[in-house]
């Protein structure tokens, strides 16, 4: 009888140890997987390959937490770096002495996967309202992220030359160091600054000017060391109004906490969707910068 009692007591005492061993083996793996999934789904978690809401001017697919915001300042200095000698450029402080086109933007996640943004550029006092909806997110078997874009802008503080736009951002991240972007977009009224030709009154044999522009933006960002990046983009015109050269830009960036500072070089002053679609100028290169601050 005593032997049976001792065996029962030993079995009862061994059960917690056995359960504890099994728990120790299974729970960490489950917790680790859950933690990884949660981090992947949390838009507040830093994605090293995608630190900012833009490449140079074109948008990225960076997500934002609900009701959190991002503030961005843009400068495009007026001196053309392709004019004059090195000494003349240095005398003008490489364009800094020739004024700048300044813009500022505030964007917020107003709903899950939905961003709204207000941007104002000093170039023709242009105001742009835009929205972004994150349709797909890169994870697991999904190889890309896709975000839908809509916007409308107007000059003279949203009084004239309205230019609506619609498009998408298709992005692909490769590990923690590289991200690539394709941005197909249609922008209406891109020739608003010019006198339109009335098809009914146009001379015989002439064609009415295209009122919109289709672009395919290509961009990428490489993290070269730590929190230092190199980024580049070009907005190729696929159809419609397409004066001069496609707009392009490249930058050297540094991320410090929630701040991202980008030293930019572009062939145009434009920073809104319509301004980028109108293109840049041949033999032009302008120094500038973007400064972005995430509030999350």
Which one-letter DSSP state was computed for residue 89?
A: H
pLDDT tens by residue, 86-101: 888 899 888 889 899 9
The arithmetic mean of pLDDT across residues 250-271, rounded, is 97
**Tokens describing residue 194:** 């010019």
pLDDT at 289: 97
* Cβ atoms within 10 Å of 11's Cβ, excluding its own: 10
pTM of the entire predicted model: 0.82
Does the structure show a pLDDT above 90 at 202? no
Token pair for 295: 């509030």
Q: Which two tokens stand for residue 242?
A: 């397409």
Percent of the chain clearing pLDDT 70 (strictly above): 80
Query: How confident is residue 8, by pLDDT bands cut at 50, 70 and 90?
Result: very low
Give Cβ neighbours of residue 161 (< 8 Å, ≥ 6 apart). Answer: 124, 154, 155, 189, 192, 193
Stretch 189-218: mean pLDDT, rounded?
68
**Contact present, 279 and 244 (Cβ < 8 Å):** yes
pLDDT at 211: 86
- Total residues found in the chain within this entry: 296
pLDDT of 194: 61
Using the predicted structure, report yes or no on whether residue 256 has a pLDDT greater than 80: yes
Residue 201: per-residue pLDDT = 45
The two tokens of residue 247 are 């707009």
- The mean pLDDT of 3-11, rounded to a whole number, is 44
User: What phi and psi, each to the nearest 5 degrees, are found at residue 154?
Assistant: -150, 145
66 CB-near residues (< 8 Å, 6+ apart): 109, 111, 112
Q: What would the mean pLDDT of 175-179 be, rounded to a whole number?
A: 97
pLDDT of 11 > 80? The answer is no
Q: Which of 221, 289, 218, 222 is nearest to 247 (CA)?
A: 218
Q: Would you place residue 210 in the very low, low, confident or very high pLDDT band (cuts 50, 70, 90)?
A: low
Mean local confidence (pLDDT), 135-150: 96
Three-state secondary structure of 49-103 = CCCCCECCCCECCCCCCCCCEEEEEEEEEEEECCCCCHHHHHHCHHHHHHCEEEE
């Amino acid at each position: 009888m005593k032997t049976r009692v001792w065996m029962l007591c030993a079995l009862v005492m061994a059960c917690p140890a056995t359960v504890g061993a099994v728990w120790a083996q299974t729970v960490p793996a489950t917790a680790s997987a859950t933690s990884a999934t949660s981090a992947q789904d949390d838009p507040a978690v830093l994605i090293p390959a995608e630190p900012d809401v833009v490449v140079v001017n074109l948008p990225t697919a960076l997500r934002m937490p609900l009701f959190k915001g991002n503030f961005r300042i843009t400068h495009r200095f007026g001196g053309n770096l392709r004019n004059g000698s090195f000494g003349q450029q240095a005398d003008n402080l490489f364009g800094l002495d020739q004024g700048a086109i300044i813009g500022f933007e505030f964007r917020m996640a107003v709903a899950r996967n939905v961003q709204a943004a207000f941007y104002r550029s000093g170039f023709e006092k242009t105001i742009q309202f835009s929205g972004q909806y994150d349709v797909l997110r890169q994870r697991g078997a999904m190889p890309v992220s896709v975000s839908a874009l809509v916007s409308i802008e107007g000059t003279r503080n949203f009084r004239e030359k309205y230019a609506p736009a619609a498009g998408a951002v298709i992005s692909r991240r490769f590990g923690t160091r590289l991200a690539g972007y394709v941005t197909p977009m249609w922008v209406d009224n891109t020739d608003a600054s010019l006198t339109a030709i009335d098809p009914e009154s146009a001379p015989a044999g002439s064609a009415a000017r295209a009122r919109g522009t289709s672009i395919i933006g290509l961009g990428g960002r490489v993290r070269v060391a730590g929190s230092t990046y190199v980024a580049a983009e070009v907005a190729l015109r696929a159809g419609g109004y397409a004066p001069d050269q496609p707009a392009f830009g490249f930058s050297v960036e540094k991320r410090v906490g929630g701040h991202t500072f980008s030293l930019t070089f572009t062939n145009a002053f434009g920073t809104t969707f319509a301004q980028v679609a109108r293109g840049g100028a041949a033999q032009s290169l302008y120094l500038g910068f973007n400064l972005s601050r995430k509030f999350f």
